Each structure stands twice: as C-alpha cells, then as structure tokens.
Amino acid sequence: MSYPVVERKKTYRIGIVGASGYTGSELVRLLLNHPEVSIEIITSETHQGKLFSDLYPQFRGIANFILQPMEKLRECDVDLVFLALPHGISMKFVKEFGTDKFTIIDLSADFRITNPDVYKEWYKTDHNASEFLNEAVYGLPEINRADIRRARLIANPGCYPTSAILALLPLLKNNLIDPKSIIIDSKSGVSGAGAKPKDTTHFPEVFGNFSAYGLLTHRHTPEIEQVLSQVCDTVVSTLFTPHLLPVDRGILTTTYSVPTQDVSPADLLQLYSQFYLKEKFVRVCDTPPALKHVRGSNYFDVFVTYDKRTNKIVTVSVIDNLVKGAAGQAIQNMNIMFNLLESTALLNLPLCP
Amino acid sequence: MSYPVVERKKTYRIGIVGASGYTGSELVRLLLNHPEVSIEIITSETHQGKLFSDLYPQFRGIANFILQPMEKLRECDVDLVFLALPHGISMKFVKEFGTDKFTIIDLSADFRITNPDVYKEWYKTDHNASEFLNEAVYGLPEINRADIRRARLIANPGCYPTSAILALLPLLKNNLIDPKSIIIDSKSGVSGAGAKPKDTTHFPEVFGNFSAYGLLTHRHTPEIEQVLSQVCDTVVSTLFTPHLLPVDRGILTTTYSVPTQDVSPADLLQLYSQFYLKEKFVRVCDTPPALKHVRGSNYFDVFVTYDKRTNKIVTVSVIDNLVKGAAGQAIQNMNIMFNLLESTALLNLPLCP
Amino acid sequence: MSYPVVERKKTYRIGIVGASGYTGSELVRLLLNHPEVSIEIITSETHQGKLFSDLYPQFRGIANFILQPMEKLRECDVDLVFLALPHGISMKFVKEFGTDKFTIIDLSADFRITNPDVYKEWYKTDHNASEFLNEAVYGLPEINRADIRRARLIANPGCYPTSAILALLPLLKNNLIDPKSIIIDSKSGVSGAGAKPKDTTHFPEVFGNFSAYGLLTHRHTPEIEQVLSQVCDTVVSTLFTPHLLPVDRGILTTTYSVPTQDVSPADLLQLYSQFYLKEKFVRVCDTPPALKHVRGSNYFDVFVTYDKRTNKIVTVSVIDNLVKGAAGQAIQNMNIMFNLLESTALLNLPLCP
Amino acid sequence: MSYPVVERKKTYRIGIVGASGYTGSELVRLLLNHPEVSIEIITSETHQGKLFSDLYPQFRGIANFILQPMEKLRECDVDLVFLALPHGISMKFVKEFGTDKFTIIDLSADFRITNPDVYKEWYKTDHNASEFLNEAVYGLPEINRADIRRARLIANPGCYPTSAILALLPLLKNNLIDPKSIIIDSKSGVSGAGAKPKDTTHFPEVFGNFSAYGLLTHRHTPEIEQVLSQVCDTVVSTLFTPHLLPVDRGILTTTYSVPTQDVSPADLLQLYSQFYLKEKFVRVCDTPPALKHVRGSNYFDVFVTYDKRTNKIVTVSVIDNLVKGAAGQAIQNMNIMFNLLESTALLNLPLCP
C-alpha cells in the first residue's frame, strides 16, 4: 500500500516579525510542521534581504524565506502576526499596525504588565501604547483559555514567569501558602538571553561556569507577582533569583513557600495531579524532573513536596524556555485562537539524551 | 472551524527488542509520532517488568509501556522488529526467531560485515548466524533502496560509517580519488558509546575534554571499507580515527583524499548536488556544516572542497548519531520496506540552538 | 644571574589513603608543589600495584607512585595521613590505626557529626568508632583554627557545608537572622559525586541537563545545622536543596533568610568584610561571584545583600568543591597543624576562562 | 617550627601591553606567582583607568592593577614587555618603542612570518615594521633555545603551530616522512578566538556544537610550513584544518603523514622519547593524550604510532592553548632570556577533572 499524501491548501496565513532572533527561529521550526498554517512573511529590519537559512543554517533546503522589512506586512494578507521583537519595539508595532487587520501574539514584555507605571518602573521606559493594555490577554492557556480564544492581542508570558506561575498556581489557588513567603530560585539556559552576543554570553565566560544575575531586580518579578495576585485575588510578593546555567536551553525553577495549613507530600501531589488533570502540556511528576526531560518540547513538568522539619513547601519545575517559555506557548495560543486542536504542531517529543 | 481528528487504526505493528538503550529510546521518540505504525511491544532483559518511562522520564505520561522479556515476542503479532541489542546478541536473536514471522531491522553490527572471518577478526567473536549474512541487506537507503524494499533482514549501518560513506560516495563512484589515499577523521558525541556508564564516559572525565580513541583499530573501519569497496568495485582502504566530543549527540567527519584528476571546488559542489539531488535527507552545503544543524533530525549535511596547494579533496559532514546514524535511518528503512513515504515521522526539524 | 635551586630535605612526610578518587588526585596535585611536605605513600585497595599516573594520566612523568595496600602504612614513617575514603570505611581505619602514630585528616563524613545517633539516622549505618568523636575537630579553619592546631584527628568539612556555613556565619554570629528561616539552594559540579561512574553521572545524562536531587534528605543537612548551631549557640534549622550542575567542578550556594532587625545591603557588605578581614581565602565581593572565579583555587567568594521588598537577606557564594571543599581545605588544616604558613601550596590562582 | 617568609625584592620588572584579553589575564595568573619577576605596568587602550580585577574578577583581592594607557610605558623602568596585542598593532608598538629600552615578547603573529610578502598574503595587511623581522627570534624553546637567550625581540609561536610543529618535528628532523604528505587536523577550545564576543562564539551557538572553520585558509598554515621547512631544510607543505571545540581551553592536534622508510610504532615512540628527553614540558605518551591532561599547565603531550594497513604515521598531541600555546610559552621564553630556571612559575599541575 502507499501512504496517501494530500497536498491541500493550508487554512491560516501568518507572519513573524523580528524573525532573526531565537524566538523567531523556534517559531519557524515548529510552524513549518503545522498542518493548518502557512508562513506568509518573516521580517527583520537588521537582516532584511538576507536568506533566513543563511542566518540559521539548520533550515538549509527547508525554509527558503527572504527576510523582509516590517513594512512589507502592509501588503500581505495574514491572519495573525507573531511579534518576536525586543520590548519597547513591540509596542510601537502595535500602535502602528493596530489589531484590526490581524491578530497579534506579542512575545515581548510590552503588554504583560497591566499597569503602565509598573512597566515604567521596571523597564525604565514609558509605555507608548497603553491604550492597548486593556485589550491584551495574558497568554497562559492554563489560566486564561477562554479569554485567549476571543483575544485580538496576546501578551505571551515570559519564560521565567511561565515556569514559576504554573508551579505555584495550585498552591495559591487553594490558599495553601502564605502569599508573602514565596522564594523563586530559577536557573536558565543561555538562549534566554537572546541571539545577540554579549560579554556575559561569550562562550569561554559561560562554559563550566554558573552565576546569579539580576539579583532582586529582574524584570520578570512584577510579571510573576501580578499574575499570581490576579489569579489568587490577594497580594502576592516573591523574591526571584535567576541564575545562568551553562546550557543552551531550559529553565529549572525551585520554589519555597510556607504552608498556611497542614499538608503532606502525598496530598500535594494529588492536588497538583487533579488541578492539571486536563492540561495536555503539564505533567505532574512523582520525582523531581530534569531539564532534558522537556528539551525541545512544549511540556511543563512539575514536582511538589513538603518538608516537615522546616515547614516549607518545595516545588521543582522545568520547561524549555524557547518552547513552553516562548514559541511553543505562542503557538498553543494561536491554536486556541484558531479553534484548532491545542496541541497541533506541538507534539515533538523531548530530545533526550 | 475545527481541526478534524480522525482516530484510525494504524496499519503496521512493530516491536523494539532491547529498548533500554539510547537507540531504543530514540526509536520510541520517533515512532510515537508515526501515523502508520503502532508499537506493540518493547523488551529489555535487564529491566523487564519496569515502566519504560521510569528509565526514560522524558516519556512520562506519553509512553506507558512495560518492558517485556524478549520471549513475549512469540505471543505477539508484529510486522517488524527493531533489534537494539549489543553485537553478538543480535545474531542469537535472528538465529532463534528467524525472519519468517516478522522482518527485522538490526541496529547492531552483526549483519553488516558480509565476510564472517572479517567479522571475527575485528569483533573478536565467532559469527553464529552466518547463514543469514547473505540475506541481510545493508540499510543505507542512498545506495540500497531497491534491495531494502525487498529485504526481510536489514543491517542498519553504523553511525560513523553513515557519516563517512555518504561523504565519500560521490567521489568514489566517479573515480575521482585514489581509493588508497582516504583519511577519515571523525568526532562523535558520547551517546554513541551507549547508555551504560563507563569510566571513559563518566561526566567529569569527558566534560571540557577531548580525545582520540580506538586508534587504528576501531570496528567501523572494515564496515566503511567493505561498503565503499562494493559500491565502487575496487579495493578501498581507509585510515579511520574516531575522537570523543564532549557533547551528547552528533558526529562530524572530516575526510581527506587525493584526486585522480583535475578538480575544482565549484565542480565538486556541483557534482555532490547532482549526485544527491533526489535524496530527501542529504543536504549539500556551500559552507561547512556544524553539528547542531542536524541535531535531533535525520539530515546528513555535507560540504566538499579542493585544496590546490596540497592537492587534497576535503569533505566535512555531520549527522545526529542517534537519528540518521541509528534510529532515524532504521525508520527510514522501515518506511521503504512498508512502501510508505520515506520521510514519514522523520520530518522533525533540527533543534538549534 | 642564575636562579639558585636548593635541593633540601622536606620537613614532613605524609600518606594519602584511598588515593584513587578525585579527592586523592587533587591532594596529589596540590601537595607535589608543597615545599615542606613529601608524599611518602599513597594507597588504594582496588588499584594496588598500579601506577598512580595510569589512573590519572595528567601526572605522567610527574608523580611516579605505585598505589599500595593500606597495610603498607604500618611500615611507613609518616607524620600525617589524609583519609580519602568513603564514609563508613574511614571510621574503620581510625579504629584500627588510632591517632598516636600519625595525625589524621579525614575527608569523609565519619567524624563530622558529633552525635552518633544523628550519624546513624542520616547515614543509615552505626558508628563503630564513636570513641574518637570527642577527639575529632571540625576542620573549618575560619571557625576552629586554634583547635585545629592542637588536633590529632580532623574531620574535614563537606563541600556543601563549607559553602553554606561560611556564607551564613557572619549573619548568625551577629544574631542578624531568624535561625529557623534559612533556605540553602546549592548547585554543584559533578566531581562532587566522586570518580566512580553511575547512571546519574553518565555524560549523556548530565550534559545539557540540570536537576535537583537528594531533596529534603541530603546528608550534608545535619552537618550544616550542627556546625551553625554550635557556633551560634542556638538551634539552627535549614532547608537544604542540592542541584547537579553540568560542569566538572564548583559549588554555588544561594541562601535566603529573614533578618531579625533593620539591615541594609551596604551594612551587610561592610559586616562581611570586617568579619573575614584576616581570612586569606575568603573574598567578600560587591557583586555576585561566579563559579569560575575560584576554579582550581582555595578561595571562598561571597556576596551578601538585602531585599527590602520581601524582607529577605540573600547570599551567593562559590568554592571549588575539590579544593576549598575538600583537598585544599585539608591542606590548609595540615599547614595549621604543622605551624606552616596557612597558604603554603594553596596560592594557585583561579583558572579562568 | 615556623615557615620562614623572606620578603625580598624581585629581580626583574616587566610590563604587559594589551592586558585586557585572555592572553593578558593568563600572563597575570602565571606571573603573580613568579619569584623573580614583578609586574610593573599593565595596559589597555580600551579599558584604561579600570581596575584589572573588574574585568577579570578571579583576581579580586589579588591583583590590584589599574589598566594604563600604553604611553605610560615611557615613564616606566621595565626590563621586558609582553605584547598581548592583535596582529597589526604589535608591529606598530615595536616600530614606536623599539627594542633598546626593553626586550619584547610579542604574542601576536606580527614577527612570526619572516617574509613580509607571505605575511601580507595571509594577513591581508602590509608589514610596517619589517626592519625588525631579521632581529625577531621564533620563540619555540624546543628548537630555538640558544637564539632565544640572546634575543631582544621574540615572536611567540601561535597555539596551533606549537601543537603541530612539536608533533611533527622528530619525524621531519629524521627525514622519516614525505614533507608534502602532511595533514594536520586540529581541534581548539574557544578561548583561542579571544575575549571579544562574536556571533560565532556566542554560547548558544557553540554549546553542544562542533564545526570546522578557516578551511584551507587559516593563517597558521604558513607559520607551520615556514618553521618546519626551516628546521628540516626542505620545503614542507601541510593541509591544516582547524575545528572549534565546545570547551574553553585546549588544542588537540591529529596529524597524518606518509613514511619514507620502514617504521614501527615502538621505534617511533622510542625516537620521540629520545628526541625530547631533556625537554621539561614535553611528555611522550604511550597512549593518546587527552585535552584535560594538560589543562592549565605548560605541558605538551604527544603520542605517535604507525598504521601498517594504510602506511600512515599518526600523531595525537595536546596543549593548553593559553599556556604552552601562549602565555606559558612566553614566560618560558622570558625565563630563558633572564637565565632563570626554565620552568620557574610554570610548574602548576594540570587541573583534571
């Protein structure tokens, strides 16, 4: 017998703006295998005119896109645009293009913080498109699925916040922990810092090394606090400490918090399993997960336990920062918006070892 | 609109024997997304009775197989079996089970060397199933596609041989190089050494390190020489030097040879492009490829050039040793045998960065 | 002019028992350049009769020791013996050889825990040489220098405890933090797990990976609590979470604790600087230190700050687990016992990048 | 007893020009422990005014140098200057400052190539200080010790050339190989590319990766050919292929050549042992050496063998590119020039694991 290949027109047309970074290349990796979506245009101001696969030779012979200037979008007929732009630039794009012509999934931080004053405080720049803040939906499907479906503008979550929020959500939703007691100790691979070389991401500096950075001041702090506070309807404050892991991808987050009532390790595991029962991409584990268990995939793996000696709840969770922490989650949001099966194009299994 | 999910019975049933190693887990990773094939049984003598996903937690919640003893295969109705066993054990399996009940793709070295004396010389053990050597087809689709389609027993190529043979084939097929002049300098990631811990693969020994091993005596030497000699109908001898790279996956092979006639870099590139024009998984590159350009994928990337100063042809090629160098190629062979589209389940794009 | 080389007899003779592990090889690396000490004998039961440099080829042509059985020590005239044995074995050695013939620096855990019941609880084995526990001095020079000088038996501190205790000491000594509030989040390179290959330290498993282990139950917990409690004369309890870093050497420890009074980042830095003013190997840093800043050296680097938002004190500290966390600290102790300059043979500067 | 500390004035005063790169920091690491030499001045045009230890925090509290502008050298009284400048800049320095006031060890390529036309061909720039080329001595002690002693200007060898020349020298000196048959396949850690971040040395690009670069055109080719040709008094041509290893330090070089007479593996090892008998930093090994066997040290380890099947001689050799391949060798040269023990300050043992 022969395997039938049906060449059919794909249903949706999308654009990727700012495709020269890692988030852009990861969107391409995943979308090329999406059965319902075709990439109509990918843009880069810096590299316009270049072949995308000259920047990312892993796509040689597969993705023959020429990088376009953003302006070209005006001539394109696309249903949805992914913004893989730096913060500050995304808001300009939204202001200019609006959300009428196409829906937007913004992977920058620009529409995550609902209060423009808080945005200014942590990002050190004015918000110039604050009129869109109300419209923007925080694109974490596990908490916002219904709103995402109806949204015209998605603020795709940060990588650290995704790993921390999903780890703490069942505890806070059930009022099991003191919302002021939370410590988040995260460790991220270097791709989280972007594709642009810096002193701090120069190979000989990072190799064999490990360090904390952004101590007390990392910009993902207010995002985590805002989302957890909203969801749980109480003021949550967290101490967030990111560290730089000498690996390319992945975030492991360890959280510590103080319970407000009697808990046991078994109860907690049961609670988490129940809480995430219907979530395709959340795996509640009975042993602590490791970074490579999710490499290249859209999974969020989490373990929870309780230390009676010191009366603390501990969670350990992992994601691939470029997938569930960025491009994969964006596509999950897109699938929801397009009313497709949520896991479409996201079933690549983890690459391990 | 909604995305139609058709739950349909898969066409073929397969087994994986010796599934506790890296080749086994890689077969599972790729086959779980194969639309025409269902995994009926996976076996491990050492770990029988255990949950496969306890060994490989990346499959938690995805692959709920219990590892079975090999004997269980007798009760199963399967179309094809992958042997992911050590050399020496594979031949016993074939002798015992034969090739009538199901076709076999053997990922060990046992049926690669056609001459049992050569096998004994390099593998230091008698060949106990030499009656099957005639029947076995060397499973490199790029040279043996027609025979593979008809085969009942496939000897899936070694990882180093795949990278070296495909790199040198266009040269030898066109009598462009002296078949005695070939030097193959290969560098492989550690997963090539298997899942079993050894002194030489202990993390602190390999990390930040690099070394040559198996100098002059590596067992892939006769395999490379045999295949190249057969294909080119002349005696090919090669000096093969493997090195251990401090990475998990990937092989990069650099070859050197002396041309027998006038060549130019441009001509060579043109020749390679033409030679591999119809090969879905071969990408001829105009700059040297890097290991991560094929990570997790079934691609073989190759670059060729000529050094006028020293009169040498140089090739640089890369594969993922666990995919095109093992499990991916095995599935490519299976697709051919089942008359499916050759790339089915093999279109995962490279994971990079 | 010419550089005068004075060949003189070295003053002290030492032995290394259990020299085939990483602690043993690190002792050799450092002691070979010690001007006052000669290595008289090195032993290994498993590898007796072998050339030490066949196990550790980095010493080829430099250290021509034959590994001896432990019993050979009876015939040797040595002043001091380093025990680089597994826990459980060290105590047997001490019971058998006593501390009269030579002084002993034990790098195992056997004499660190003063209460044999606690030892049994955490190490799951009876203490068979508890009569020596009283005599044993915990060999952390920064807190026990005077006792070390007079000791016949040193319990050399664990690697994690060294990094955690020195980080928290100034806070606890000054009653600045709630002794029940301490969280210790540590990340260690793989050499801390020893030279013996295991599944969990197999290169392809650790490479590109990161994970927590020994959650809530790691044996260094009671050591940290005991030492901090003794020094500060109050019951200290800590939640200790170790993680496995994909690097060969180094520990980075992040601690969190709740202050008992008003503090400021500047005051804390000032306090630490003052506290460690005379310590040759402690460097108080005004930015968070990185793992490679101490690689191969005996330094302990520490940063401290205060987060007003969440009212937590945070410290970040690093050591090389094989040097300040093991062999280097042992030699520091030896120098003190021999009344030598404490830094003798310990002034190798960090290898970075 | 107490260990006598004699504070004495050091004999020689040196300067390091262009100290902000890895070669500069490595010179500092090694020279700080040199008993006869004091660092009088270290310069950096880009970072002048900064604390050296702010650039390289591993020196915190140890090296309190302020980086000076080069011009400050005019006011200093130094015996010798190390130039750790990019090629093209070194020659300007030599032209301006001459070699009268102080001797110079240049770690750039500017004075290695004796023929300015060859320099121009490979380095794409005119040689503006060719009047010094005659005076310059190629600073490879193993071949030029006598000339080095008398030199005022040393051209410190390149890292790749050091590893290749010393590996091939015994063969060529004894006319054992065809001087046109040599293939040099080298693999280098990333610190060889310098401290300045580039796209190609960005951590996520290099991690888990491996690639060939500078194929056929690497600038170390003419240096290798020139030195081997001079030493052996015949025209040597070599095909040199460098590869980028995902590690911070170290070069492993594999060479292939065709013997001109009957040889055996044992004879070759014997020949090498004899040839390098008196060389303190050359270790002839009876098994292939690994990168980490020399990490942080000044050793050059080499293995040689012969493959009868293909009639090729193979060598495998390793160095630390920043030590024997740069700063260590420069200090070795300095020791020779100052008539000190050649190994002074160079006896740090390899850091392994």
Pick from D22, D202, D248: which is nearest to A208 by CB?
D248
pLDDT (average), residues C166-187? 97
Task: Please report the pLDDT score of residue A320 as a whole number.
Answer: 98
In chain B, residues with a C-beta closer than 8 Å to the C-beta of C205 are 203
Has residue D289 been placed in a domain? yes
Amino acid making up residue C338: F
Interface test with B, best of C56, C203, C248, C251 (most B CBs within 10 A): C203
Task: Please indicate whether, in this complex, the C-beta atoms of C252 and A211 are within 8 angstroms of each other.
Answer: yes
Cβ within 8 Å, pair A316-C238:
no
What is the distance in angstroms between the CA of the first residue and the CA of the last residue of chain A? 35
Chain C contact partners (≥3 CB pairs within 8 A): A, B, D
Which residue, C84, C91, C2, C8, is CA-closest to C45? C84
C317: in domain: yes
Shared-domain flag, residues D169 and D314: yes
Q: What is the ipTM of this complex?
A: 0.95
In a domain, A285, yes or no: yes
> Could you report the per-residue pLDDT of A82-102, keeping only the tens digit for each?
999 999 999 999 999 999 999
pLDDT over threshold 60, residue C1 = no
B121 touching chain C per CB within 8 A: no
Residues D27 and D69 occupy one common structural domain: yes
Q: Do A215 and C288 touch (CB under 8 A)?
A: yes
Q: Is C327 among the domain residues?
A: no
pLDDT the model gives residue C4? 43
Residue C8 has pLDDT above 90, yes or no: no
What letter does residue D265 receive in the DSSP assignment? H
Cβ of B248 and C204 within 8 Å? yes
Strand C300-307, strand C312-319: pairing: antiparallel
Q: Between residues 55 and 94 of chain A, which touch chain B (CB distance below 8 Å)?
A: 56-62
Which residues are bridge partners to A318 per DSSP? A252, A301
- Flag if D201 and A206 touch (Cβ within 8 Å): no
Same structural domain for residues A180 and A315? yes
Per-residue pLDDT in tens (0 to 9) along chain D, 353 residues: 344 444 557 899 999 999 999 999 999 999 999 999 999 999 999 999 999 999 999 999 999 899 999 999 999 999 999 999 999 999 999 999 999 999 999 999 999 999 999 999 999 999 999 999 999 999 999 999 999 999 999 999 999 999 999 999 999 999 999 999 999 999 999 999 999 999 999 999 999 999 999 999 999 999 999 999 998 899 999 999 999 999 999 999 999 999 999 999 999 999 999 999 999 999 999 999 999 999 999 999 999 999 999 999 999 999 999 999 999 999 999 999 999 999 999 999 999 99
Distances in Å between the Cα of D325 and the Cα atoms of B280, D162, D166 are 44, 6, 11
Torsion of CA A137, A139, A140, A143, to 10 degrees: 30
Number of domains in chain B: 2
Q: Among B196, B207, B247, select the one facing C247 at the smallest CB separation.
A: B207
CB spacing of D203 vs A203 below 8 angstroms: yes
Residue D243 CA, distance from chain mean position: 18
Percent of chain B topping pLDDT 70: 97
Rounded to 5 degrees, what angle do the CA atoms A153, A155, A160 make? 165
Whether B208 is covered by a domain: the verdict is yes
Compare CB distances from C211 to A180, A204, A291 and report the shortest one's residue: A291
CATH of the domain at D29: 3.40.50.720
Per the CB < 8 Å rule, is C58 touching D296?
Answer: no
Q: Let me know whether C131 and C168 are in one domain.
A: no
Inform me whether the C-beta atom of residue B310 falls under 8 Å from chain D C-beta atoms. yes
Smallest CA–CA separation between A199 and chain D, in Å?
6
Q: Which range marks the domain in which residue D203 is found?
A: 159-321
Distance, in Å, from the CA atom of C158 to the CA atom of B291, rounded to the nearest integer, reads: 39
What local confidence, expressed as pLDDT, does residue C62 receive? 93
Nearest to C190 among B191, B203, B248 (CB): B203
Asked whether residue D1 is domain-assigned, the answer is: no
CATH number (domain holding residue C274) = 3.30.360.10
- Sign of the CA dihedral running A337, A342, A347, A353: positive
Mapped onto helix, strand or coil, the DSSP state of residue C106 is strand
- Whether residues D50 and D181 share a domain: the answer is no
| Contact check, Cβ <8 Å, B289/D243 | no
- Beta bridge partners, B82, equal B16, B105
pLDDT at A10: 81
From A217, which residue of chain C is nearest by alpha-carbon distance? C307
Q: Which helix (H) or strand (E) holds C242?
A: strand C238-244
Tally helices (H) and strands (E) across chain C.
Answer: 10, 13
pTM for this entry: 0.96
Query: Do D277 and D175 fall into the same domain?
Result: yes
In this complex, the residue of D22, D197, D208 whose CB is nearest that of residue A199 is: D197
By CA distance, what is B241's nearest residue in D?
D254
Q: Are residues A244 and A171 in the same domain?
A: yes
Strand residues in chain B grouped as ranges (E): 12-17, 37-43, 80-83, 103-106, 137-138, 153-155, 182-188, 211-212, 238-244, 251-257, 282-284, 300-307, 312-319
C157's CB contacts (< 8 A; 6+ apart) are C112, C138, C139, C140, C165, C223, C227, C325, C329
Print burial letters for C131-145: b (CB count within 10 Å at least 16), e (below 16).
ebbeebbbbbbbbbe
Sort out which chain A residues have CB atoms less than 8 A from B62's CB and list them.
Answer: 349
Neighbours of C179 (CB within 10 A): 21
Q: Are residues B233 and B315 in the same domain?
A: yes
Q: Is residue C339 part of a domain?
A: no
Subunits with 3+ Cβ pairs within 8 Å of B are: A, C, D
CB atoms within 10 A of CB B309: 12
Alpha helices (H) in chain A, listed in sequence order: 22-31, 52-55, 89-97, 116-123, 141-150, 159-173, 203-206, 220-232, 265-275, 328-337
- The alpha carbon of residue A114 is apart from the nearest alpha carbon of chain C, in Å, by 20
Closest-CA residue of D relative to A204 is D248
* Strand, helix or coil for residue D164: helix
For C236-260, what is the mean pLDDT? 98
Instruction: For residues A178 and A302, state if they share a domain.
Output: yes
CB C55 within 8 A of CB C121: no
- Position D77 scores a pLDDT of 94
Closest Cα to residue B275, out of B185, B181, B166, B202?
A: B166
Which DSSP category does D249 fall into?
S
pLDDT digits (tens, 9 = 90+) for C321-353: 999 999 999 999 999 999 999 999 999 999 999
Q: Which residue in C32, C58, C339 is closest to D352 by CB distance?
A: C58
The residue among A247, A303, A320, A351 with the most chain B CBs within 10 A of its CB, best to mutate, is A351
CA distance D154 to D201: 30
Do strands C312-319 and C282-284 pair parallel, antiparallel, or not at all (unpaired)? unpaired
Domain boundary among C135, C170, C205: C135
Which candidate from B1, B5, B36 shows the least CB-CB separation from A339? B1
Any C CB within 8 A of B197 CB: yes
pLDDT band, residue B10 (cuts 50/70/90): confident
B159 annotated active-site: yes
Q: Which of residues 256-285 of C touch D (CB under 8 A)?
A: 283, 285
Q: Is B351–A285 a contact, with Cβ atoms under 8 angstroms apart? A: no
Contact at CB, A203 and D198, closer than 8 angstroms: no
CA D92 to chain centre: 21
Whether D202 contacts chain A with CB within 8 A: yes
Contacts of A59 in chain B (CB under 8 A): 349-350
User: Hey, are the CB atoms on B349 and A61 less than 8 Å from each other?
Assistant: no
Pick among D191, D203, D320 to test the A interface (most A CBs inside 10 A): D203
Question: Rounded mean pLDDT of chain C?
Answer: 96
Write the CA distances from D292 to B4, C57, C184, integer angstroms. Answer: 56, 9, 32
The reported pLDDT for the residue numbered D7 is 52
* pLDDT tens digit sequence for B127-174: 999 999 999 999 999 999 999 999 999 999 999 999 999 999 999 999
Residue C110 pLDDT > 90, yes or no? Answer: yes
Region at C314 (left for phi over 0; alpha for psi -120 to 50; beta for the rest): beta
Length of chain A measured in residues = 353
Q: Say whether residue C213 is in contact with chain B using an 8 A CB cutoff.
A: no
Per the CB < 8 Å rule, is B285 touching A349? no
pLDDT digit string, tens, across residues B171-180: 999 999 999 9
Q: For residue C185, tell me if it sits in a domain.
A: yes
Low-confidence ranges of chain A (pLDDT < 50): 1-6
- CA torsion angle A136 A140 A146 A152 (round to 10): 30
8 Å CB contact between C314 and C254: yes
Q: Are D209 and B288 a contacting pair at CB < 8 A?
A: no
**Residues A47, A151 share a domain:** yes
For residue B288, the model assigns a pLDDT of 98
- Do A330 and A324 form a contact (C-beta atoms < 8 A)? no
- Which distant-in-sequence residues (6+ apart) come within 8 Å of D230 by Cβ? none
- For chain C, the first-to-last Cα distance in angstroms comes to 35
> Please, which pLDDT band fits residue B240 given cuts at 50, 70 and 90?
very high
Peptide bond into A353 cis (omega under 30): yes
Task: Work out the burial of residue D2: count CB atoms within 10 Å of its CB; fewer than 13 is exposed, 13-18 middle, 19 or more buried.
Answer: exposed
Cis peptide leading into B289, omega within 30 of 0?
A: no
Per-residue pLDDT for C279 more than 50?
Answer: yes
Q: Are residues C175 and C249 in the same domain?
A: yes
Average pLDDT of the residues of chain B: 96
Assess whether D167 and D40 both reside in one domain: no
Find, in chain D, the residue whose alpha carbon is nearest to that of A196: D199
> Of D135, D170, D194, which residue sits at a domain end?
D135
Chains with at least 3 CB pairs less than 8 angstroms from chain D: A, B, C
The answer, yes or no, to whether residue B1 has pLDDT greater than 70, is: no
pLDDT value of position A232: 87
Q: Is the dihedral of CA C10, C14, C20, C21 positive or negative?
A: negative
